[in-house]
């Protein structure tokens, strides 16, 4: 913790929480056992970000493509979500965390959606970490829904075609008002972004870790932030 410079923290951290299935398989268990064991890692990550003073944390929890998994796994994940959100909201609230949900909420089963909405309502006035839970989310989905909103604003005359620029467009993305992602972590050993925050990660520092998500702890997050702080971010410019 002391080795981290608090004035160079990533403002927005995004995490692809991958490796639950392999974690379970290596123990001879069903994949859902891996998802259940990923909750402690979520808790540690959220608490460490809140404690450090990170502004925004966006967790890839269930992708648009994940609906294509076997029904028993999808149902298991949705049930786990309902239970976990219910259990975790008081703790989030206590830590001054503001919970949000990004993704196609209409695609979720009604109980999961209601639980998310309750959590969002309870924590809406909190002023600490903003926790975006990406559910039924994909980067392409996000861009398309922002394009639709832009088109409808132009059509209604609320905005002119000339006013469309990067700043304006970003206001329609589901992550708004979060700034672009500074650091994107993927656990589980694969080196890809799997349709995550495509627009928002344009200049993110990418960190691919071999640790499987259920084994991810606060120490891994602190190490990742230390690595982030050694990166030379040029944003296309030069230093001289
Ligand atoms: C990530 O773990 C969680 C979700 C996608 C819901 P996986 O379930 O993808 O685990 P692996 O990658 O198969 O090990
Ligand atoms: C990405 O992991 C989605 C989440 C972690 C929620 P996947 O396991 O679904 O991605 P792929 O299939 O390896 O690209
Ligand atoms: Mg995976």
Give per-residue pLDDT as tens, 43-89: 999 999 999 999 999 999 999 999 999 999 999 999 999 999 999 99
Its domain, for residue 190, covers 14-36+53-143+175-228
- CATH number, domain of 95, equals 3.40.1180.10
Residue 47 falls within a domain, yes or no? Answer: no
pLDDT in tens, 145-177: 999 999 999 999 999 999 999 999 999 999 999
Separation CA 220–CA 208 (nearest Å): 12
Query: For residue 208, is the peptide bond before it cis, meaning its omega torsion is within 30 degrees of 0?
Result: no
CB of 88 within 6 A of ligand 2: the answer is: no
Q: Which pair of tokens denotes residue 117?
A: 């909405």
Work out how many domains the chain is built from and give that number.
1
At 216 the pLDDT is 99
**Terminal Cα distance for the chain, rounded:** 32
Atom of ligand 2 nearest to the CA of 21: 8
Best probe residue, ligand 2, of 18, 45, 74, 196 (max atoms within 8 Å of C-beta): 18
Flag whether 97 is in a domain.
yes
CA of 160 to the centre of ligand 2 (A): 38
Residue 199 lies in a domain: yes
81 lines ligand 2 (CB under 6 A): no
User: Among 205, 192, 240, 212, which Cα is nearest to 65's?
Assistant: 192
Q: Is residue 159 part of a domain?
A: no
**In this predicted structure, what is the pLDDT of residue 179?**
98
Other residues' Cβ atoms within 10 Å of the Cβ of residue 180: 18
pLDDT at 1: 79
Name the pTM for this structure: 0.98
Alpha carbon of 161 to ligand 1 centroid (Å): 41
**Any domain includes 90:** yes
pLDDT at 239 over 90: no
Strands of 130-137's sheet in order across:
98-102, 130-137, 56-63, 12-16, 183-186, 205-208
Q: What mean pLDDT value characterizes the chain?
A: 97
Ligand 1 pocket, CB under 6 A:
17-22, 31, 62, 66, 77, 188
Spatial distance between the Cα atoms of 182 and 206, rounded to a whole number of angstroms: 9
């Amino acid at each position: 913790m002391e080795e981290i410079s608090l004035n160079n923290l990533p403002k927005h951290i995004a995490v692809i929480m991958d490796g639950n299935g392999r974690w379970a398989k290596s123990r001879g268990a069903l994949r859902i056992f891996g998802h259940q064991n990923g909750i402690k890692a979520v808790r540690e990550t959220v608490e460490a970000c809140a404690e450090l003073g990170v502004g925004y944390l966006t967790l890839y929890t269930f992708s648009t493509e994940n609906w294509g998994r076997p029904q028993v796994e999808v149902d298991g994940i949705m049930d786990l979500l309902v239970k976990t959100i219910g259990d975790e909201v008081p703790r989030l609230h206590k830590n001054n965390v503001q919970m949000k949900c990004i993704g196609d909420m209409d695609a979720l089963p009604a109980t999961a959606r209601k639980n998310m909405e309750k959590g969002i309502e309870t924590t809406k006035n909190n002023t600490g970490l903003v926790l975006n839970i990406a559910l039924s989310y994909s980067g392409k989905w996000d861009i398309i829904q922002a394009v639709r909103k832009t088109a409808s604003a132009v059509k209604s005359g609320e905005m002119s075609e000339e006013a469309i620029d990067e700043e304006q467009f970003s206001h329609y993305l589901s992550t708004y008002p979060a700034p672009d992602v500074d650091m994107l972590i993927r656990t589980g050993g694969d080196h890809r972004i799997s349709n995550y925050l495509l627009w928002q990660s344009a200049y993110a520092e990418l960190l691919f870790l071999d640790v499987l998500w259920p084994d991810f702890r606060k120490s891994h997050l602190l190490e990742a932030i230390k690595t982030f702080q050694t990166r030379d971010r040029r944003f296309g410019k030069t230093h001289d």
